[in-house]
Structure 1
Amino acid sequence: MRCETAREALSARIDGEPEPVPPETTDRHLTTCAGCRSYYANAQRLRRRMTVRSAPDVPDLTEVLLDRIPAPTGERWGTRIALALVAIAQLTLSAAQLFGVATGMPGMSGAMVGHLSHETTAWNAAIGLGLLWAALRPRAAIGQLPVLSGFVLVLAALSTADVVSGAVTAGRLASHGLVLAGLALLFVVRRRHTAGDGHPGTADSLRPGEHVDAGSSAAEPAAERHRPQRRRRRPTGHRRAA
């Protein structure tokens, strides 16, 4: 066997292709030809070098990722507990009105007083339940803020007019302090909950001086990430074959 034929067969063997001659013939030639043995060894070494590469060095990002993890939820329980206490106080106020405690609305009597008492009782109970739910589920705070903010704004204007005309007592005005406290705590709970929802690893969570590789998903523009996918339209001229 000539060396050219043997080396062609060895090259096919390394590539996993059929050899042009029987393998036994090539093996017998290798036992007698030092040049072909050296060629075969070098070819195998080159093959391994091209197919098996060492893993690239990866920087240790443990500290960076740990710094971007939101703070434990336990650190935000103080405000939520305070909101729950205000909610319980608001529910207590509605229960007191329900069982006949004076509402502080002078100058009214009869069925009208009873109906207004029921309205305020229901409203105070609704506020208390809403605040309690926001304390348990902070995501619900954002839905209550517009309603409660509007109520406090209108209530402040009407209460000012009632104070000027003497149509409201100091005790009645003091009961509105729970609503004001609940509104303030709603803002705090919502803000802290939103701040704790940041997703680590996104471009928005990077600190000054940090960067993200251009090939990562964090570097993609927000418009590209949130762009709606277009639905493919079916061909209008398509007909089922007979």
Structure 2
Amino acid sequence: MQCAPFREAVSARLDGEPLGMPAADLDRHLAACPACDGWAGAVEGVTRRARLAPASPVPDLTAAVLGALPQQLPGTAAAARARLVQAALRLALLAVGVAQAGLAWPALAGGSASMSAPVHVAHETGAWNLAVAAAFLAVAAAPRLAAGALPFLATFTVLLTVTTVRDLQAGHVHADRAAAHLLLLAGVVFITVLAWRQRPRRAAAPARARRVVA
């Protein structure tokens, strides 16, 4: 009797493949052929040891992978917090721009006195405040404009702050009038933060390859 087909059937049974013959025929042959029965037992033992062999040790990269997630996946908690902060800054700047425009409009529309020079000065002041409000609203709508608007607005704010402090000390301006400039200061602070958050990030230096010790 040829044993090769039965040994192939034993191998197929261990691999979960079709036997190519009735299972009863294979069992009867193994019961009648000690050689094939011993071969089947040996092959089954080898297969079991191969399947139950411990896996090769691998380095634990869990910490490295979790640490890289906030920079690589846009849906992480860090990215969500960044988007929330960006939206809050834009809304705050929008509110400041609207308030600044509301502050500028009365002086621009009606002036503050009947004489032509004071009225014209009021119109100029209103135009400046309305232009600043427009800059705030533009940056709130398009934060990429923050860096371009910052040099002028920051310079204007610094100069106005210095002159306002001097005028307050000399009694040339009322405190409520000076307090209105806090809107300008708040808007410039928001634009500064937006510009800083959009600054180009330097790429991380490549890590040095570790020397493998033989």
TM-fit CA distance, 1:160: 2.2
Between the aligned residues of both structures, percent identity stands at 32
Q: Secondary structure at the match of 2:164?
A: helix
Q: Higher helix fraction: Structure 1 or Structure 2? A: 2
Question: Could you list the per-position Cα deviations for residues 6-60 of structure 1 after superposition, in whole angstroms to 9, with x for gaps in the alignment?
Answer: xxxxxxxxxxxxxxxxxxxxxxxxxxxxxxxxxxxxxxxxxxxxxxxxxxxxx9x
Q: Are the counterparts in 1 of residues 139 and 146 from structure 2 also a CA contact under 8 Å?
A: yes
Q: Are the counterparts in 2 of residues 68 and 205 from structure 1 also a CA contact under 8 Å?
A: no
TM-fit CA distance, 1:83: 0.8
Q: Are the counterparts in 2 of residues 134 and 186 from structure 1 also a CA contact under 8 Å?
A: yes
Instruction: Indicate which of 130, 136, 155 corresponds to 2:135.
Output: 130
The answer to whether 1:67 aligns with 2:77 is no
The answer to whether 1:77 aligns with 2:76 is no
Instruction: Assess, with a 3 A threshold, how the Cα gap between structure 1 residues 64 and 166 changes in structure 2: closer, same or farther.
Output: closer
C-alpha separation between the residues in 2 aligned to 1:144 and 1:66? 34
Instruction: Assess, with a 3 A threshold, how the Cα gap between structure 1 residues 67 and 156 changes in structure 2: closer, same or farther.
Output: closer
Provide structure 1 residue ranges, at least 5 long, that are not aligned to the other structure: 1-58, 103-107, 214-242
Instruction: Assess, with a 3 A threshold, how the Cα gap between structure 1 residues 156 and 109 changes in structure 2: closer, same or farther.
Output: farther
The answer to whether 1:153 aligns with 2:158 is yes
Specify which structure has the bigger relative contact order, considering alpha-carbon pairs within 8 angstroms and separated by 6 or more residues. 1
Q: TM-score, normalised by structure 1?
A: 0.50
Q: Secondary structure at the match of 2:104?
A: helix
C-alpha separation between the residues in 1 aligned to 2:169 and 2:69? 57
Map 1:93-242 onto structure 2 (within 5 A): 93-100=103-110, 110-194=115-199, 198=201, 204-205=203-204, 211=207
Question: Could you list the per-position Cα deviations for residues 120-177 of structure 1 after superposition, in whole angstroms to 9, with x for gaps in the alignment?
Answer: 1111111111111111111111111111111112112211222233221222101101
Q: Greater CA deviation, 88-97 or 177-186?
A: 88-97
TM-fit CA distance, 1:74: 2.9
Q: TM-score, normalised by structure 2?
A: 0.56
- Read off the aligned partner of 1:174 and give its amino acid letter: A
